[in-house]
Every structure is written in C-alpha cells, then in structure tokens.
C-alpha cells in the first residue's frame, strides 16, 4: 500500500516536471526539468523492481542526454547571438 502511494506521488511529480519542460520559457529550466523526469522515472522503475532499466534511465536519460542538451544549447546560443 505504502509502495503504491509512493509510486503515485512519483507519477504526479513526473507529470509536473514534464509540463514544466514543455511550457517554461527558459530553455535551461526546460532541460533540467526533462532531466528530472528521467530521474523520477528511474526511481519509479526501481520501485517496480526493474533495476536494470532504472540504471540505464539514470545514466543515459538523466545524466548523458541532459549534458548533451546543454552542450548543444550552448553552441546554438553562440551561433544565434
């Protein structure tokens, strides 16, 4: 029961972060929110006893793809400004 409540709470957090990632005007905030979606999703996978998927999601989804987005954003900003 307590696990279900935690899972629902994380699900709501994922939804909030996803909405922030879409509608926020500042792209940096959007990228961090998209990374937070992956981080919460990996915790959710761990609760649903899928540690392999959770490791992949934490390392690639919230780690590497966030940093790649920042690199690309930095490059685009320089070329446009």
Partner 1 sequence: MVKNILIFIVLIGFAVLLANVFVGFKGNSELNTLANHYAVSGPEEVGSANLVTAVVVTYRGLDTLGEVTILFLSAAIVSFLLKIETSASRKRKLRTTSEILDTASKILVPVTLLFGIYVFINGHLSPGGGFQGGAIIASGLVLMLLSQPAKEVSHKLITIVESISGLSFVLIGVAGVIFAAGFLDNTLLSLGKFGTIFSAGLIPVIYIFVGLKVGAELSGIIANLQENQNEV
The residue ranges that bind partner 1 (CB under 8 A) are 51-52, 54-56, 59-60, 63-64, 67-68, 71-72, 74-75, 78
Angle at CA 21, nearest 5°, toward 25 and 29? 60
Which CB, 34 or 54, lies closer to partner 1? 54
CB closer to partner 1 out of 19 and 55: 55
In whole angstroms, how close is the CB of 22 to partner 1 at the nearest point? Answer: 12
Contact 68, 52 (CB under 8 A): no
CB 57 within 8 A of CB 43: no
Smallest gap, in angstroms, from Cβ of residue 62 to partner 1? 10
| Nearest to partner 1 of 26, 79 (CB atom) | 79
Q: Which two tokens stand for residue 11?
A: 């699900």
- What tokens does 59 get? 């390392």
Tokens of 56: 């992949």
């Amino acid at each position: 029961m307590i696990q279900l409540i935690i899972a629902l709470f994380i699900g709501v957090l994922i939804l909030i972060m996803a909405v922030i990632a879409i509608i926020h005007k500042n792209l940096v905030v959007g990228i961090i929110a998209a990374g937070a979606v992956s981080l919460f999703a990996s915790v959710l996978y761990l609760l649903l006893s899928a540690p392999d998927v959770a490791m992949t999601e934490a390392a690639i989804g919230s780690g590497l793809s966030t940093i790649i987005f920042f690199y690309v954003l930095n490059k685009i900003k320089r070329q446009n400004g």
